[in-house]
Amino acid sequence: MANKVLRKVTHCVFDMDGLLLDTERLYTVATEMILEPYGKAYPFEVKEQVMGLQTEPLARFMVEHYDLPMSWEEYARQQRANTEILMRNAQLMPGAERLLRHLHANKVPFCLATSSGADMVELKTSQHRELFGLFNHKVCGSTDKEVANGKPAPDIFLVAAARFGVPPKASDCLVFEDSPNGVTAANSAGMQVVMVPDPRLSQEKTSHATQVLGSLADFKPEQFGLPAFTD
C-alpha cells in the first residue's frame, strides 16, 4: 500500500469489538452455536461481511444468507443469549490499555463508537470498568436513537464527534477500527482511520485505511501530532 499523508489530529474515536476487546473470536463461537444444528459452517469469508454491522442488519443477513428457518428477531435473540454467556470474560487486545491510559494522561479527548448496544457494552466491559470509565463518552450504535444508519454509513462517527464538550472538525478526529465497514464509515465521515485488521483480511480490504497496523501496540501517536509514549 502506498504511503499516505498522516495529518495532525486532536481527538480520537475508538471502535470496540476486535480492536479494544478480544470479542470477535467469541462472536464466532456464538454464531457457530446457532449454525451447527443446521449443519452449516461459518467461514471467515462470511464473517468479514458482517463485521461492524448493527444487530438488525447482521441478523437479517445471516438468516437470508444461510436460509435459516427463523426470523431475524429469533436469530438476534439466540445470538444475544450465546453472547451473554461468552462475553463476561472478554480480554483486552494487545496495546489497548497502554494507549487509552496514555491519551487520558495527556488529556487527549477520546470516545467510544461501537455498533453494540449499551447493555452489551456494559456486559463486555464488566472486567474493565475503570479503564472504560476513562472515555469522554460512549456512542452505542444499536441502541442510540441519534445513529440513524449503522456502519458503513458515517452516522456513528459524526454523532461521536458532536458529543465532545467542544466538538472538533471531522478532519481533527482519528478513528481506530478493525473492520472494513468501520473504515468505510470513518472515511465517509471525513476522518483519518488507523486500522488493526484481522490478519486473515486481504490487503485489498484494508487499502482504504489511512494506516494499517498489526496491533495497537505498534501505534506511534507522534505520527498524528499526538504526545509520544515515554515508556
Helix (H) or strand (E) run with residue 176 in it: strand 173-177
Beta carbons within 8 Å of 74's beta carbon, 6+ residues apart: none
The sign of the CA dihedral 184, 185, 190, 194 is: negative
What's the helix, strand, coil split of the chain in %, to 5?
Answer: 45, 10, 45
Whether 75 contacts 63, CB under 8 Å: yes
**Nearest one of 187, 178, 185, 186 to 206, comparing CA atoms:** 178
Could you please report the per-residue DSSP string of 124-137?
A: HTTT-HHHHTTSS-
Q: Three-class SS of residue 12? A: strand
Based on the residue annotation, tell me whether 155 is a catalytic residue of this protein.
Answer: no
Where are the extended beta strands (E) located within 57-133?
110-114
Q: Which of 17, 144, 172, 178 is catalytic?
A: 17
Q: Which of 15, 144, 155, 178 is catalytic?
A: 15
Cα→Cα distances 173→61, 66, 161, Å: 31, 38, 8
Based on the residue annotation, tell me whether 15 is a catalytic residue of this protein.
Answer: yes
Cell of 203: 490487503
Catalytic annotation, residues: 15, 17
